Amino acid sequence: MSTLIRPYRPADLDDLHDICIRTGLVGRDATGHLRDPDILPVLFAAPYAEFDPGLVFVADNGRRVIGYVVCAADSAAHYAELRARWLPRYAERFPAPAGPPADLDEVFADLLHHAERMLVPEIADDYPAHLHIDLLPEGQRQGLGRRLMHTLFDALRERGVPGVHLNMSRENTDAAAFYDRIGFTELPLTEDRDDSIACLGYRLD
């Protein structure tokens, strides 16, 4: 059975949750590397499905969802909504670290409490949207990532969004090669940022 790229449905949420964890450690399975790996979908999948499900698309192989792309058309608005509507639900389960993060769990908890740090103001006009894309190993190298991306790009163009960006660990060389093939380019940023993270952009016009 061929894999279908289709809009997200609420019944897909558990699959998004599972995929996010199983690809959440630089593209590898984060299970066993975090005390509570649910922090990953809480940050990088579930809020997108709730805030703007029209910009979430999945790869469905007929048995389950094996990949997805999620997106926020306006990054500044997304992070503001995350703080106002989302953080209160999870602040007690994932408390902010008392000091500098001591491990991966605290790194992600700190990011949950300060998600606006992911905002890149200097590219906001040209690349206001941002995305996350994840595919299970069985869905990789089949063209599904490209199909998910172009489905999302069409939806963003319909809304008049001029560009989309993403942040990527430089360790994830497979992802870097994929984004290069799609047409993403690294954006030169003027402010000091973590050199291990690259910001890539794609123009939609």
Helix 173-182 with 144-158: angle, nearest 10 deg: 50
Q: What's the confidence (pLDDT) of residue 191?
A: 62
Q: What's the confidence (pLDDT) of residue 192?
A: 61
What pTM was computed for the model?
0.95
8-41: b (≥16 Cβ within 10 Å) or e = beeebbebbbbbbbbbbbebeebeeebeebbbbb
- Please state, in angstroms and rounded to a whole number, the distance separating the CA atoms of residues 132 and 66: 14
Q: What would you measure as the largest C-alpha separation in the chain, in angstroms?
A: 51
pLDDT values of the chain reduced to their tens digit, one per residue, 205 residues: 699 999 999 999 999 999 999 999 988 999 999 999 999 999 999 999 999 999 999 999 999 999 999 999 999 999 999 999 999 999 999 999 999 999 999 999 999 999 998 898 899 999 999 999 999 999 888 999 999 999 999 999 999 999 999 999 888 888 999 999 999 999 987 766 677 889 999 999 9
98-129: b (≥16 Cβ within 10 Å) or e = eeeeeebbbebbbbbbebeebebeebeeebbb
CATH numbers and ranges of domains, the chain: 4-203 (3.40.630.30)
Instruction: Provide the CA 201 distance to its chain's centre, in angstroms.
Output: 14
